[in-house]
Chain A
Amino acid sequence: MTIADPRAALPRTDSAATRVSDVLWRRPTLLLVLLLTPPVLWLGIIYLGSLFALLLQSFFSIDHFTGLINYEFTLRTYAELFTPTNFDIILRTVTMAACATLASAIIAFPIAYYAARFARGRWRAVFYIGVMMPLWSSYLVKIYAWKLILAKEGILTWALEKLHLLWLLEAYLSLPVVGGNSLSVSPTGTFIVFVYVWMPFMILPIQAALERVPASMLEASGDLGARPGQTFRHVLLPLALPGVVAGSIFTFSLTLGDYIIPQIIGTSRLFIGQAVYQHQGIAGNIPLAAAFAVVPIVIMGIYLTIARRMGAFDAL
């Protein structure tokens, strides 16, 4: 018997792909660099770079006589944000974002709780499809659909009329601030559509957070004497808070930046997104548009800091 060639244990011919794999296996760092370079370039240059360019613009100012941009660093444009007209826009947008976020959280929580705790098998699929389906259709179609629902000649008015409850709607619409000629041209209409459109972004993170709370945690609370309401306040809500905060980041920031919904449904009063749109387009006031665009970023920063102080991320 001949002594076997020790190389016989190795495959004789390597294809090019195998050789590439071998090199990458021996140098894991090289693989990491190859995998990460494209996305880091994309994120760093295109994404953060454009954001930085925007920030830069906001420190320039516009000459109101010539309409030309004055490329000298100044805080004058930021000061303009605090004129009554502009500050009103910011206040209105932030209030709307806060209301829409709060309402979304209140409506989303029971749905997410049901999905996380009780829905199994087919009902789980129904839940996911039900929550996601509105995201599959065009955003504009949904908004115009809502315009028809909320309009004076719309189905809601019709239904209330048949139920002899139209006086209720009319009484509500005659209220100052929230009311208007019809729901579709009232701030309430804007609010309803915001809540509807962003709802999935609130439900899914809460559901994910609740899924991570073991049933025994809730049983333990009850076992230690807590009524369901107390268990909710002391155990379930604190543990779900990271999910609620994650969802509210979506609903809050999306509302702060949106300019289509308030244009189609609601009053003629501007929101931040509309102000940005108008200043950079028709008015050609890029610095003020940029300064307006910085506002949501600053507000989100403040919001996240407060959330963190309140311990929203302690359970992460």
Chain B
Amino acid sequence: MTAVRFDHVSRHFGDVKAVDGVDLDIAEGEFFAMLGPSGSGKTTCLRLIAGFERPTAGDIRIFGAPVADLPPYKRQVNTVFQDYALFPHLNVIDNVAYGLMIAGQPRRARHAAAEAALEMVRLGGYGRRKPSELSGGQRQRVALARALVNKPRVLLLDEPLGALDLKLREQMQEELKGLQRQLGITFVFVTHDQGEALSMADRVAVFNQGRIEQVGTPEDIYFRPDVPFVADFVGSSNVLPAEIVARLTGTACPAAIRPEHLRLAADGPLKARVTGLSFLGLTTRVSVEAEGNRFTALLPQEAPRPEPGDELALTWAPENLHLMARDA
């Protein structure tokens, strides 16, 4: 069953088309990521699902029911906010139990449910603390528990890991994924971090300028980008312009090639000049310039290392060149 459906949804703020004719289907039980640079419309889409924004045009359905006229407090979705939005005047247990309190549950029952939710996010016994006494990671878990305790049919997460440091972020990624599998709830996850989207999501929608450029599995968008934007943004792939591809392969369309698939050779059809080197440990990143385009190659450690200024050529195995025929 479709959990969330967007049918030609737009949200304009004056002249700014934050969301511009988006079609979207999110299946029940799916971990769905909305990926894009800031200002690409992904957060506005999330806010449209939550009900904080109303669409300028188009139809939004949650489990088949049109929700355009439903205020947030009547929707069976809950949100984990980017800044967590924990209530500073309430302690942790009352924060988590807030939704149940509003629903009219008696104090004892809602505190028991909130404690269970806190245990689920491994914060059992923290109920009496104030949010200000918790670390960023703990606040994040409280925000998660506060949303999940209401048993939403769709959980919306707005860059929930953005404020955490790298190590905590990786740990939370696994925990979130585990929770989603365990609960079977549809997760809609907004992020600008392609690594996060690829590692966690069942499917990813890549946003750019209010539109969706591509929807697909992480493998799809990483290895088989439809358009140069996706190739560049998701995989930091090199995009070969159509005229070079036409000369080399005979097909006039842009193509993507991953940095780890580019090789440097003494001679070849695409002449290139080395402009920079950075040592990354496992690999060496080499920046090259070829016919006015910049490319990046990741060389394995054992490969011979070029010097900046070297005149070489770029080569690759033909199967690693991904043609993006859809692009106009």
Question: Which A positions have Cβ atoms within 8 angstroms of B?
Answer: 214, 216-217, 219-227, 230, 234-235, 238-239, 311, 314-315
Contacts and interface: CB of A to CB of B under 8 A. Distances in A.
28 contacts: A214-B83, A214-B85, A216-B81, A219-B52, A219-B79, A219-B81, A219-B85, A220-B85, A222-B52, A222-B71, A222-B73, A223-B52, A223-B72, A223-B79, A223-B147, A224-B73, A224-B78, A224-B98, A224-B146, A225-B73, A225-B103, A226-B98, A226-B102, A234-B101, A235-B87, A239-B87, A314-B89, A315-B89
A303 B161 CA distance: 44
Counting chain B residues whose Cβ lies within 8 A of the other chain, the interface size class is: 20 to 34
Given A219-B81, A223-B79, A225-B102, A239 B72 contact: no
B235 interface: no
A239 B86 CA distance: 12
Contacts of B150: 224-225
A240 to B, nearest CB: 10
Given A222-B73, A224-B150, A230-B102, A311 B89 contact: yes
A117 to B, nearest CB: 14
B278 to A, nearest CB: 37
Contacts of A216: 81-83, 85
A224 B52 contact: no
Contacts of A221: 87, 98
A225 B99 contact: yes
Interface of B: 50-52, 71-73, 77-79, 81-83, 85, 87-89, 98-99, 101-103, 146-147, 150
B95 to A, nearest CB: 9
Q: Which of A220, A222, A224 has the most CB of B within 10 A?
A: A224
Nearest to B158: A216
Contacts of B51: 222-223
B83 to A, nearest CB: 6
A219 B98 CA distance: 13
A239 B88 contact: yes
Contacts of A226: 73, 98, 102
A217 B73 contact: no
